[in-house]
Structure 1
């Protein structure tokens, strides 16, 4: 296509397909510079808007990234493999003083923008946690970042009456994180329930994750329960779909 392109006969999807082929084949390896709008306009004989749309397609797919003042490059980022239920086993992670994501495979994210507040919860959160009207929750918000790129937003809710005075109210919860602190309080989480859905991002999520409006996010809502089925945490996680592979392990044994 590149050598035989003629004006008016190539659309943005064909250009995106051609560039994607070059990326998949290694002709454009990770970290290499992708032809810019002007180069594509000349090479394929198309308008600049068509070239821009082609690049936007690949950005949406997470294949290329724009670096301000430098150009557009093939993404070097390797997806994080989020392995469940390994990451929630106490012996693998928080029970041995490690963060939950220590069991994930791939580049380890760092935590940024941690904020802790006490708030009245939404009705949906209050119902899951079994709270009475007017009861408040401790809310922990944070962002996970890899190579300076946000990959996940997380918001956890804990009954205020249950975690009052503990390190869960602090920016640094200590070794093992919040689940280890819940165990210290006598509310060790032993059972988890996760709900997963895929949707388009809300504007605040799009900005926080630095993704385009047409890049879907993965929403995971996890509820943690004690041995006697008391809910002790609701965690809402918003994942950049281009950054993660979700792996689930099952057994046929009861």
Structure 2
């Protein structure tokens, strides 16, 4: 036990370990507060706080009149964040739910370095695992590149990689930048992902560049308990020459 650590935290750790290790499968009923108090020589207040902590972590759930039970944990899907050379890592099929032509808002204009009001294509997709939405993906690109062609988002296959699609109209993407954060879900995102507003989500802001020009930008929002990001990037630059050693 760490010096100064509350007793309920110590008890929660003792209960957490077999749950995380799989020794206590989903549906297992935990000992009551009174039983835990006797077994671990603590007060019922301590055991109550320990169980509440595990419930807040999503490991157990309280059932009225029955006690606490180990929660079933959703399967975690690996979402690939790769470069073009290394290929996908366990790709998650995305369902396109809409392509629209819009006037760029202040945010989109800033990210794409456009004038506010310029035309952009917005594409919205949802990724599902076992039928459950686990990520929402929204992208924007200047309409000027593919307007009137068969390579606009509304004409091309929705799942087509923007690198390949834009290359067909002579826009060569040679750089990708991403910002990753964890933040509370906003109401529209929470509705799509079927989670409570304010629940933490993974947020990835990704922008494709052709030279110094931003040609596509997107937001990916994923449930933290259902997704993990996998980065696998190739190093294509030259290896620096080693310094000579002196015998």
Taking structure 2 as the reference length, what is the TM-score of the superposition? Answer: 0.69
Asked if 1:88 corresponds to 2:83, the answer is: yes
Question: Structure 1 residues 64, 155: CA separation in 2 closer, same or farther (over 3 Å shift)?
Answer: farther
TM superposition shift of 1:147: 1.8
Aligned length: 218
Partners of 2:151 and 2:166 within 8 A in 1: no
Contact persistence 2:201–2:224 (CA under 8 A): yes
- Which residues in structure 2 correspond to 1:202-221 (within 5 Å)? 202-213=186-197, 215-221=199-205
Alpha-carbon distance in 1 for matches of 2:177, 2:202: 16
Q: Could you say what the CA RMSD is over the residues aligned between the two structures, in angstroms?
A: 3.6
Partners of 1:20 and 1:58 within 8 A in 2:
no
Q: Please, which runs of 5 or more residues in structure 2 have no aligned partner?
A: 1-6, 38-43, 63-68, 241-247
Looking at structure 2, the residues matched to 53 and 112 of structure 1 have their Cα atoms a distance apart, in angstroms, of 38
Task: Tell me the equivalent position of 1:192.
Answer: 176
- Paired residues of 1:224 and 1:232 also in contact (CA < 8 A): yes
Provide the rounded CA distance (Å) in 2 between the counterparts of 1:223 and 1:230: 10
Bigger shift: residues 242-251 or 195-204: 242-251
> 1:92 and 1:122 mapped to 2: Cα distance?
34
Partner of 2:99: 116
Equivalent position SS for 2:127: strand
Given the alignment of the two structures, is residue 127 of structure 1 paired with residue 110 of structure 2, yes or no?
yes
Q: Which residue of 1 aligns with 2:76?
A: 78
What residue in structure 2 maps to residue 96 of structure 1?
Answer: none
Instruction: Give matches, 1:1-254, under 5 Å.
Output: 17-29=13-25, 32-35=26-29, 44=36, 53-54=52-53, 56-59=55-58, 63=59, 73-80=71-78, 82-83=80-81, 87-89=82-84, 91-93=85-87, 103-105=88-90, 108-112=91-95, 114-165=97-148, 166-170=150-154, 173=157, 176-213=160-197, 215-226=199-210, 228-242=211-225, 243-247=227-231, 249=233, 253=239
Runs of 4+ deviating beyond 6 Å: 49-52
Larger radius of gyration: 2
Q: What CA distance in whole angstroms lies between the structure 1 residues aligned with 2:76 and 2:36?
A: 30
